[in-house]
A and B are shown apart, each in its own frame.
Chain A
């Protein structure tokens, strides 16, 4: 997943993407993009206390069920394209996007406390994030390290969040840090 696609996903969710249709088309065919998109939604929902555990599993099951459905071929009903209605819908959508953005903004400020932006990346002078292969090799050491580290004694499971929170291979590999 490239940085650009992540930004596009973010922009799409914020309703700021000009060519939303192209993004939707890509979303249909790109598993990685869909995974990122659903992760971003899970995070946003979680931040807003709206998170529903198992939603992604449900989505997968619905998708699988749809696979099994026979395809019905019928002519498009032209009357569905009435202009005024879609106009009103557009405004309603825009208004809700503004509301979501406002909520998101407030939430972002409140959770970062005295340290500014949540998306701040602070890796100057550090080596780049490990590639998938290195990460795979390291994960075994990290489990061993965690079990014997002082922070596991203090915080139990917390150090394992670093192992569980992991982006798919190509993403980690692509994430270069200046």
Chain B
């Protein structure tokens, strides 16, 4: 045995057993439990969200019943009080700091609850899965799950899932150097049988707020072809291609979503009108990265909770497939 072989042998011997463990099947079961809990449980909770140096406390109310379906309300507990309500196929974002209310159509519910998007067998090429210890979050016992990316095109996640209910209680996203990028953590959670309607009503928006409404149902129609992407990080596949109308406008934009099952990237393609503001180059809001550029008479923007390298690679390789008919 050569010295280097001995070193390798000793290193293997010393490597902790969990490095070899394949917990993917167990993790998949936990993720399924988490997915189902996210859409089926009534609860009221307070949590903190931290990103960089920024920390925000928020309150969340989630209700599901036969009459109203799934309703959710999220309110920042700060002096500004930004708020998002999802209800009856609409998303209402009240943004007092910019005196705006943005109302958009939610994703049409083809099925409820939405399909479980993860197929662990497809993911083991791009992520590794480890089942962690039982820990405590917000006074509840929680199962820790570690999901590590195998390349630099996606983030890793640590998840803490309520051992009993399956609700996600804490989540950290981290980059390839294991640095935490954002943290979400419940500080208090109450599971409820019923949630009073008034807790799910959007807060009162001032009359002088600008209402930005988008999308009619027809514009959410799925489309095929036209725009395509030349290079895509491994594991990302097309999830949906739709057209939607831009806010307060008659112009239609293409929206193509790619996902690896855990992370998603949206590509928006809009005709350049000259009037509207466009984002060019790299920008970032928290862990959401965006990369925009002009292409012929169009503007292309890739947005997603993925590293900058991913949105850049995708945005720069969008092209128009001439074999397909343009959609005007």
Contacts and interface: CB of A to CB of B under 8 A. Distances in A.
B168 interface: yes
Contact of A157 (B50, B74, B286): B74
Please classify how large the interface on chain B is, using the bins under 10, 10 to 19, 20 to 34, 35 or more: 35 or more
Given A35-B80, A115-B172, A151 B277 contact: no
Interface in B158-208: 158, 168, 171-172, 174-175, 177-185, 187-188
B201 to A, nearest CB: 15
A43 B55 contact: yes
B198 to A, nearest CB: 14
Interface in B129-155: 135
Please classify how large the interface on chain A is, using the bins under 10, 10 to 19, 20 to 34, 35 or more: 35 or more
Contacts of A158: 168, 171, 184
A121 interface: yes
A39 B56 contact: yes
Given A38-B79, A51-B187, A121-B52, A137 B93 contact: no
A96 interface: no
A109 to B, nearest CB: 14
B305 A148 contact: no
Contacts of A5: none
Contacts of B56: 39, 43, 161, 164-166
Contacts of A122: 52, 175, 177, 179-181
Given A46-B48, A149-B264, 18 more contacts: A115-B178, A120-B180, A125-B308, A137-B278, A138-B285, A142-B285, A148-B242, A148-B257, A149-B257, A150-B262, A151-B263, A156-B72, A161-B49, A162-B49, A162-B182, A162-B286, A162-B287, A163-B84
23 contacts: A39-B57, A42-B77, A51-B187, A113-B158, A116-B180, A127-B308, A139-B102, A141-B268, A143-B91, A149-B266, A149-B305, A150-B260, A150-B262, A152-B114, A153-B116, A154-B35, A154-B168, A157-B60, A157-B74, A162-B182, A162-B287, A164-B56, A164-B84
